[in-house]
Amino acid sequence: MKAIMVVGTTSHAGKSFLTASLCRILCRQGWRVTPFKGQNMALNAYVTASGGEIGHAQAVQAWAAGIVPRVEMNPILLKPQSNQTSQVIMGGQAVGEVSAADYYEKYFEPGWKTVQKSLQRLAEEFDLVICEGAGSPAEINLKHRDLTNMRVAKHLNASTILVVDIDRGGAFAHVVGTLELLEPDERALIKGIVINKFRGQRSLLKSGIDWLEQRTGIPVIGVIPWLDQSFPAEDSLSLLERPSQKNASGLNISVVRLGRISNFTDFDPLDSEPSVSLNYVGLRDSLGYPDAVIIPGSKTSIGDLLDLQRTGMADAIKEYAAAGGTVVGICGGFQIMGQMLADPEGVEGYEGRFKGLGLVPLKTVITKQKIARQRLVTSHFPQMGLPVSGYEIHQGRSQIMRSESADAEEQSFKAMFDDPHLGVVDSSLSVWGTYLHGIFDNGPWRRAWLNRLRKQRGLSSLPTGIANYREQREVTLDSLADIVESYIDLTPILAHLE
């Protein structure tokens, strides 16, 4: 199997973006391409058709390659939890929770076998794999147990690209230092250097490129400029780099930046709406009075609930809702909005019962058994009869609480979909929550909900007969691939494959 590996000098150098772009570029050239990342640590996950979890970035890369995401593309996914442990997803399924030290002792050998088996299965269907590394390939304290970077590159004899983020500064030192720390057989696989996120005139960089090529003996095969187009990020650190947008003539929607936020890629479709300003609000920031507040997914709902209460953000959200504001909860955020969360087995590290925000009459019990599946349902809100697709990923069973006023409770909260367990909305249509990730990907549904907000502001309605976000994502992937292709020369990389 022919292989290209993309490694970076640092995190956020542009590995995921470059891997997706290469998948689209080479797919258009006629290659049967598949993405691959041996081990990923991320809270942005996607559920495949088989019900397995992989990193969301690998799903995007699969779409860039024109294929369906599958668990072999990301055989190991680590999802950090609040108690300094990570949930281990291997072969798409949760197999345990461990500390970092215990992980390598317990899972390194079976992990490497899983990586090799996944590559073998992909080799049976594809003729080129585009591998993405993680962090840096030169972390000397981790290299002996690394399941993602040069171990995979050597296993495949992959033609390897080293990408560096020049916007951070110190790019030349990052490149030289990384190469110096690689073993000779690892360094020999590096066939090209890509400088990413460059601002300014290319001519001013020429002397530096000449020096770098002479110093390393490796060609700089591309200088990619800073791009304003967004690409789905892997972890929440990227949220700190997103500037707040102000849109005086449109809607302002705030997402609460939970400490354990997960699947914030849910909100990329909202961010893509020209009439929407999407802002991430820290727990100690002023909530203000936006058109809607979203409590996003969380890997540890109870931990984030306690943080909301500790910082005063919980009270701010409740006051906002009491004043008639629109509050939305997605997955963990839906659980947080309820009356009570219980974790009798200490799955999240917070054994006991905890009072939620009390915005919906929901009781949630955290369990060890995870639900991960794709869904296709029909909406009851904000418009009847719309087909809605998405996926569930949660370790919790929720139900509407019954009390002496059960009839009133049932009248004031209605099911959002034909599956009543998937989400509820109150009688004012302003407070709702759902377990469905990817809900905003559904174009007509998204616009129907945005039009309710626009009506409250006295704004005209947007057209609802639009395509789903996946079609817009296809346009974005083509555009990014066009740009990368115009700034990169893959000749040295492809020559190594022959």
Q: Check which CATH number belongs to the domain holding 284 and give it.
A: 3.40.50.880
The average pLDDT across 342-349 equals: 88
For the ranges 158-172, 176-190, 237-251, 312-326, the lowest mean pLDDT is seen at 237-251
Residues 161 and 99 in one domain: yes
CA distance 126 to 31: 8
Residues 136 and 177 in one domain: yes
User: How does DSSP classify residue 429?
Assistant: S
% residues pLDDT > 90 (the chain): 83
- Residue range 129-138, pLDDT digits in tens: 999 999 999 9
Is 464 among the domain residues? no
CATH code for the domain in which residue 138 is found: 3.40.50.300
Which residues make Cβ contacts (< 8 Å) with residue 264, sequence separation at least 6? 44, 233, 236, 239, 255, 296, 297
264 is in which domain, residue-wise?
Answer: 251-458
* Residue 120 pLDDT > 70: yes
- Residue range 415-470, pLDDT digits in tens: 999 999 999 999 999 999 999 999 999 999 999 999 999 999 999 999 999 999 99
pLDDT of amino acid 498: 73
* Residue 227 pLDDT > 50: yes
Q: Would you place residue 238 in the very low, low, confident or very high pLDDT band (cuts 50, 70, 90)?
A: low
Q: Any bridge partners for residue 41, and if so which?
A: 78
Residues 283 and 146 in one domain: no
Is 418 among the domain residues? yes
Token digits of residue 211 = 């020096």
pLDDT of amino acid 404: 52
The average pLDDT across 281-294 equals: 96
C-alpha neighbours within 13 Å on the C-beta side of residue 369 = 4
Residues 227 and 261 in one domain: no
CA distance 291 to 430: 10
CA distance 414 to 195: 52
For the ranges 239-243, 263-267, 302-306, the lowest mean pLDDT is seen at 239-243
Is 392 among the domain residues? yes
Residues 198 and 318 in one domain: no
Residues 300 and 192 in one domain: no
Residues 215 and 335 in one domain: no
Hey, is 70 helix, strand or coil? coil
Is 237 among the domain residues? no
Q: Would you place residue 247 in the very low, low, confident or very high pLDDT band (cuts 50, 70, 90)?
A: low
Residues 265 and 360 in one domain: yes
* Residue 239 pLDDT > 70: no
Q: Convert 150-185 to b/e letters by CB count within 10 Å (16 or more is b).
A: bbbbbebebbbbbbbbbbeeebbebbeebbeebeee
C-alpha neighbours within 13 Å on the C-beta side of residue 51 = 7
pLDDT of amino acid 403: 54
- Residue range 49-81, pLDDT digits in tens: 999 999 999 999 999 999 999 999 999 999 988
What is the count of structural domains for the chain? 2
Is 466 among the domain residues? no
Residues 298 and 373 in one domain: yes
Q: Rounded to 5 degrees, what are φ and ψ at 330?
A: -115, 120
Going through 66-205 in order, the beta strands assigned E by DSSP cover 76-80, 86-90, 93-98, 128-132, 159-165, 190-198
Q: Which strands, in side-by-side order, build the sheet including 220-225? A: 33-36, 128-132, 2-8, 159-165, 190-198, 220-225
Residues 356 and 404 in one domain: yes
Is 437 known to be catalytic?
A: yes
Q: Would you place residue 85 in the very low, low, confident or very high pLDDT band (cuts 50, 70, 90)?
A: confident
The DSSP H or E segment spanning 357 is none
The average pLDDT across 283-300 equals: 96
pLDDT of amino acid 176: 98
Residues 273 and 392 in one domain: yes
pLDDT of amino acid 347: 86
* Residue 246 pLDDT > 50: no
Which residues make Cβ contacts (< 8 Å) with residue 204, sequence separation at least 6? none
User: How does DSSP classify residue 264?
Assistant: G
pLDDT of amino acid 242: 54
Is 278 among the domain residues? yes
pLDDT of amino acid 220: 98
Per annotation, catalytic residue among 331, 380, 394, 496? 331
The average pLDDT across 336-357 equals: 92
CA distance 14 to 194: 10
pLDDT of amino acid 409: 47
Q: Would you place residue 235 in the very low, low, confident or very high pLDDT band (cuts 50, 70, 90)?
A: low
Please choose, from the candidates 329, 360, 365, 337, the residue with its C-alpha nearest in 3D space to the C-alpha of residue 437. Answer: 329
Q: Would you place residue 211 in the very low, low, confident or very high pLDDT band (cuts 50, 70, 90)?
A: very high
For the ranges 4-13, 218-227, 361-370, 398-407, the lowest mean pLDDT is seen at 398-407
The average pLDDT across 264-284 equals: 95
Rg (CA), the chain: 23
CA distance 134 to 11: 7
Is 242 among the domain residues? no
Is 245 among the domain residues? no
CA distance 370 to 93: 9
- Between 356 and 248, residue with greater pLDDT: 356
Average pLDDT, the chain: 92
* Residue 42 pLDDT > 50: yes
For the ranges 173-177, 282-286, 365-369, the lowest mean pLDDT is seen at 365-369
pLDDT of amino acid 202: 87
